[in-house]
């Protein structure tokens, strides 16, 4: 599976600007790319002004994702602020040429930014079957909760989209590596760069890690760009066969 991560700055609460920006980036994505990953809340930045920034599933940004996926014959993953009734969700969508393939609402809301006061938490753990790969969908703060992402031999790769500040970059890079190793999976992490409307700086530190926790490619911090890698299923299966640590994992139930 050929993956592209777009590490990019986001214009604060400016969906039209951000859609145009990513549309230009998508026009240059390499042929044969299967999956393009955008940051968390890629049209707005990590805004708490839900009433001003939210869109419906029938709205402009979801329609744009559908149009881009069909036009470029690629799957696109990224999260948006979505309104349903009187509730707001930080929703990660995976959209392909044929439509919406998966949606995941952020489970762990970032209380230090009062995200829990504005958004409704998700209640479903979502795994997408795509091109022979089982992919767990996660958003930013979910990274800090390993029980929620425990691999029960039910996924092969985990996507993390984020607006994770530079001041906490060390936990970000450390926990990404831990999730790859403990779950014997690929980790595909896309974080933004630049500075948001609250003056918070982001270093990116996006990553593609293999099941051994090793970097598949070097993605420079603070640098905008599109970064590519082809995931190796043979390497994944070889790692699990030679060192089947997941067979000895503790059994437990997560109550959502």
Which position among 55, 115, 140, 185 bears the catalytic label? 140
Confirm whether 40 is a catalytic residue. Answer: yes
Output Rg (C-alpha) for the chain, integer angstroms. 17
For 204-238, b/e burial (b = at least 16 CB within 10 A) is: bbbbbbbbeeeebeebeeeeeebbbbebeeeebee
DSSP string for residues in 163-179: --BGGGHHHHHHHHHHH
Helices then strands (H, E): number in the chain?
6, 13
Which position among 13, 40, 55, 115 bears the catalytic label? 40
Q: What is the 3-state secondary structure (H, E, C) of 94-131?
A: EEECCEEEEEEECCCCCHHHCHHHHCCCCCCCCEEEEC
Which position among 106, 115, 190, 216 bears the catalytic label? 106
According to DSSP, residue 34 is labeled -
What tokens appear for 30 in the block? 């390499």
Catalytic residues: 40, 106, 140
């Amino acid at each position: 599976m050929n993956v592209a991560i777009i590490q990019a700055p986001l214009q604060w609460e400016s969906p039209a600007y951000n859609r145009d920006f990513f549309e230009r980036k998508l026009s240059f994505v390499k042929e044969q790319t299967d999956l393009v990953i955008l940051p968390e809340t890629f049209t707005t930045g990590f805004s708490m002004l839900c009433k001003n920034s939210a869109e419906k599933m029938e709205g402009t940004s979801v329609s744009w994702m559908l149009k881009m996926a069909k036009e470029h014959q690629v799957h696109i993953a990224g999260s948006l602020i979505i309104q349903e009734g009187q509730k707001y969700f930080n929703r990660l969508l995976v959209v392909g040429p044929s439509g919406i393939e998966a949606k995941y609402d952020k489970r762990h809301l970032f209380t230090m930014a009062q995200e829990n006061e504005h958004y409704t938490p998700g209640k479903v753990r979502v795994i997408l079957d795509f091109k022979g790969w089982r992919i767990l969908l996660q958003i930013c703060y979910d990274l800090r909760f390993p029980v929620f992402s425990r691999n029960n031999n039910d996924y092969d790769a985990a996507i993390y989209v984020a607006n994770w500040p530079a001041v906490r970059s060390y936990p970000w890079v450390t926990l990404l590596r831990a999730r790859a190793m403990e779950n014997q999976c690929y980790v595909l992490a896309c974080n933004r760069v630049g500075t948001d409307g609250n003056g918070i700086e982001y270093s990116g530190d996006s990553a593609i890690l293999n099941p051994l926790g090793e970097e598949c490619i070097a993605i420079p911090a603070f640098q905008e760009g599109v970064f590519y890698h082809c995931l190796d299923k043979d390497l994944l299966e070889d790692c699990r066969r030679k060192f089947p640590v997941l067979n000895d994992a503790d059994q437990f139930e997560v109550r959502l």
